[in-house]
Amino acid sequence: MLKPRIALICHRDDAFNQDLVGRWLASFAELVGIVEIEERCDVRWRRLRAEGRRVGIARLLDVLAFRVYYRLALAAGDSAWERAVIARAADTWKAPDPTTPVLRTHNPNDDTVRAFLERVAPDLAMARCKWLLRRAVYSVPRLGTFVLHPGICPQYRNAHGCFWALASDDPGNAGMTLLAIDDGIDTGPVYGYYRYPFDALRESHIRIQHRVFLENADAIRDRLLAIFAERAAPLRVADVPSRNWGQPWLSAYLRYRRKLQGNA
């Protein structure tokens, strides 16, 4: 059976996507290239400043407070869980071919990335990164570039959809969306919604984001293969409010945790 040619775009310091997702892609496709992003500190500061302009200084402090809380209270547990998951994945999916071309870059929108993708000529690309890719890059793959968005679109667009679904008392929309990239923020054609029966009291939103992929890996694989075979049409997205959410707030986290504990 003819395999799709797939390229992976991910952050170099993100083992879940670089290692586990890379193995998963190589299990059913020809992984023809990997773009590894090495972010500079100034990029992260720019994101933080942009969030401050969007929400104001008081709310930005709320964002920073959550980051400190997560690092002190949740990060160690999530990291240990992630390491165990990656180790188990090594028993299920073989490592990609060590000769797979790898391009390291500080900016996935650089012309060198476009040229690299043109050279490896993927049928489609999987973007697992925090960047908005420009059209000159995301349009190179013959069938487009896809994302596995952590949240249900269009209700929960941007990188923290699972968090905001939980914080909005909308657990049914704490899931994952397979969609194609366009010029907007998570506004492209939707090809699938994925969920699992998580335990929000015991699982962080980060763990939920990873587990929803793991619990649905086979279904997502089958959908990508259908896209490759040109047998998959975009879903009709319901006429629901579309919102671009920002960074998690500690106040919102504590509020939904208190409600969960009260209902336990």
Mean pLDDT by 10 residues, the chain (264 residues): 94 94 97 95 85 91 96 97 96 94 97 98 96 96 96 91 95 96 93 97 96 98 97 87 90 95 82
Residue 176 has phi, psi (to 5 degrees) of -140, 145
Half-sphere CA count of 255, side-chain side, radius 13 A: 13
**Separation between Cα atoms, residue 98 and residue 94, nearest integer Å:** 11
Burial annotation 214-250 (CB, 10 A radius, 16+ → b, else e): ebbbeebeebbbebbeeebeeeebeeeeeeebbbbbb
Beta-bridge mates of residue 30: 5
Number of domains the chain contains: 1
Radius of gyration over alpha carbons of the chain, in Å? 18
> What is the structure's pLDDT at 239?
80
- Burial class of residue 201 (count of CB atoms within 10 Å of its CB; 0-12, 13-18, 19+): exposed
Which domain covers residue 130, as residue numbers?
5-263
The DSSP code for 73 is I
Beta-bridge mates of residue 148: 178
What CATH number did the domain enclosing 31 receive? 3.40.50.170
Distances (CA, A) of 179 to 44, 77, 85, 105, 202: 25, 30, 25, 24, 28
Average pLDDT over the chain, rounded to an integer = 94
Largest Cα span, the chain: 56
> What is the structure's pLDDT at 147?
97
Is-contact 120 32, C-beta < 8 A? Answer: yes
Question: How many other C-beta atoms lie within 10 A of the C-beta of residue 91?
Answer: 7
Task: Enumerate long-range contacts of 210-218, CB under 8 Å, 24 or more apart.
Answer: 210/16, 210/82, 210/85, 212/150, 212/162, 212/174, 212/175, 212/176, 213/21, 213/148, 213/176, 214/85, 216/176, 217/24
